Amino acid sequence: MSRGKKSSVTIRDVARKANVSVATVSRYINGTARVSDEVAKRLDRVMEELNYVPHSTARRLATKKTNTIGLLLTDMSGDFFAPLLRGIESMAREKGYDLLISSAREAYSQVRNLPLGPHNCDGILVFTTSLDDGCLQALSEMSFPVVLIHRSTPPELNIPCVTVENKAASYKLVSHLIEEHERQRIVFLRGPKGHEDSYWREMGYKQALLDHGIPLDESLISFGEFFRRKAYQSMWELLSGGVQFDGVFAGDDEAAVGVLVALREAGVRVPEEVSVVGFDDQRMSPYLQPPLTTVRAPTEDVGKEAVRQLVKLIQIGEADPLTLLPTEIVLRRSCGCEFGSGSPLYETW
């Protein structure tokens, strides 16, 4: 019944209710000319109320003949994204699909504002918080193929997701600092707000402290935001504030770079005085001074698997609900393990 109502709504109905011309609605939908902010908001409101889907979008949803998939990102800076994009691009090419990429700082909240979606793609990959839950709900109701990357599926929605194991590896990494290097005051630098990888890494950190009888000290938790400059600033705030610590779990390898620079500038020796560990095992990590102990995450494989699941969803209408890829610890000198000064050698377990 609702589908019948949706299909009966025309562009003329939208124009009539919004008190604008059909040409104005057409220009706004197709982006061929600018309309005022007031008119744009009015059209968004009316189309939402009428549950109007442009004919071009409906046709594409029915035929799925774009042979294109989309990738929505909140950011593309940092070394983390190179292997992810490499995996996505290579698998898309193998499966015979073109790839469109869009990056924006803020999460999209309306389907009609999406640069990538039903109007130009057969399906989309959504990295972390690129879309809010309301937008995901709308796409799900349209039966538009979506796969989430490094983000759990919102409750009540049936959207596949692909991510890596975070909590157990973080627990093992922090436990290593405590058991092998006798670290008792370990800093944790959180990632971006709302980032699930950061949440589970923090849970692993806290569980390791608890299981080893070390009280949680909130003064040792700060923000690195998976960004070397922010981690650098946070470390200087801790140092200048007189906070005592003998270990740092930087949250990821990007943040670990900022940590190492700040400690070096402050004259703090790594790992003799402070152990430093990261997460992801980025390309530069073995070549930092000292080489970085971290967690190897299969980032390129995440990209490949996300495309594989999306293509299954597009072609047969179903995919695996959750794909959780394994991670492993990589021990190098920054934690205090001895594998040769300045050497990129490592040991995994």
Count other C-beta atoms under 10 Å from residue 283's C-beta: 11
**CATH 3.40.50.2300, the chain: domain bounds:** 67-163+299-324, 167-278
Does domain 67-163+299-324 correspond to CATH entry 3.40.50.2300? yes
- Say how far apart CA 348 and CA 337 lie, in whole Å: 12
pLDDT of the chain along its 349 residues, tens only?
Answer: 333 334 468 888 889 999 998 888 877 876 656 778 888 889 888 888 888 876 655 545 555 568 999 999 987 777 889 999 999 999 999 999 999 999 877 777 677 778 888 889 999 999 988 888 888 998 988 889 999 999 999 988 999 999 999 999 999 999 999 999 999 999 999 999 889 999 999 999 999 999 999 999 999 999 999 999 999 999 999 999 999 999 999 999 999 999 999 999 999 999 999 999 999 999 999 999 999 999 999 999 999 999 999 999 999 999 999 999 999 999 999 999 986 444 444 555 5
pTM: 0.77
**CATH 1.10.260.40, the chain: domain bounds:** 1-47
Whole-Å CA distances, 336 to 273, 292, 340: 9, 10, 11
The pLDDT of residue 310: 97
- Say how far apart CA 341 and CA 210 lie, in whole Å: 33
Does domain 167-278 correspond to CATH entry 3.40.50.2300? yes
Does domain 1-47 correspond to CATH entry 1.10.260.40? yes
